[in-house]
């Protein structure tokens, strides 16, 4: 499992814009082949601080995500709202094991 934690700081006046744009990206991303999770997290005491938790079955699936129209639209839309450049930190997912995850519905 390939996991990326994307750390994002948004300028305060665009927090709601960022959430709306990220919701659209989330809804499309969870439908991608190989997507296991796509969570959007906001720090409770700092509404400008977000983490996107992206889990894909493989590094190739994660790379394919970055070629999708919805990701490219999101990337370009939110770029001017960043207080600093976003930072993606890759991880190798150990647990749960991919074989233990629920199968996709047909």
Give 101's pLDDT tier (boundaries 50, 70, 90).
Answer: low
| Residue 15, domain member (yes or no) | yes
Please report the pLDDT score of residue 99 as a whole number. Answer: 60
Give 105's pLDDT tier (boundaries 50, 70, 90).
Answer: very low
DSSP state of 82: B
| Residue 93, domain member (yes or no) | no
Give 106's pLDDT tier (boundaries 50, 70, 90).
Answer: very low
For 7-28, letters b (16+ CB in 10 Å) and e give ebbbeeebbeebeebbeebbeb
| Residue 95, domain member (yes or no) | no
Query: What CATH number does the domain containing 53 carry?
Result: 3.30.70.100
Domain with 59, as residue range(s), is 2-83
Q: How many CB atoms lie within 10 A of CB 3?
A: 17
The kind and range of the H/E element at 87 are strand 87-92
| Residue 97, domain member (yes or no) | no
Give 103's pLDDT tier (boundaries 50, 70, 90).
Answer: low
Query: How many domains are there within the chain?
Result: 1
**What distance in Å separates the CA atoms of residue 72 and residue 15, rounded to the nearest whole number?**
19
**What distance in Å separates the CA atoms of residue 60 and residue 41, rounded to the nearest whole number?**
24
| Residue 91, domain member (yes or no) | no
What tens digit of pLDDT does each residue of 34-50 get?
999 999 999 999 999 99
| Residue 75, domain member (yes or no) | yes
Give 98's pLDDT tier (boundaries 50, 70, 90).
Answer: low
Compute the radius of gyration of the chain from its Cα atoms. Answer: 14
| Residue 70, domain member (yes or no) | yes
| Residue 30, domain member (yes or no) | yes
């Amino acid at each position: 499992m390939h996991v990326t934690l994307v750390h994002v700081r948004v300028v305060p006046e665009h927090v709601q814009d960022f959430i709306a744009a990220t919701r659209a990206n989330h809804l499309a991303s969870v439908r991608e082949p190989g997507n296991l999770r796509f969570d959007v997290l906001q720090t409770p005491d700092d509404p400008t601080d977000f983490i996107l938790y992206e889990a894909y079955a493989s590094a190739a699936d994660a790379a394919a995500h970055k070629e999708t129209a919805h990701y490219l639209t999101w990337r370009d839309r939110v770029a001017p709202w960043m207080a600093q450049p976003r930072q993606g930190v890759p991880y190798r997912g150990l647990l749960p094991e991919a074989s233990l995850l629920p199968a996709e519905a047909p």
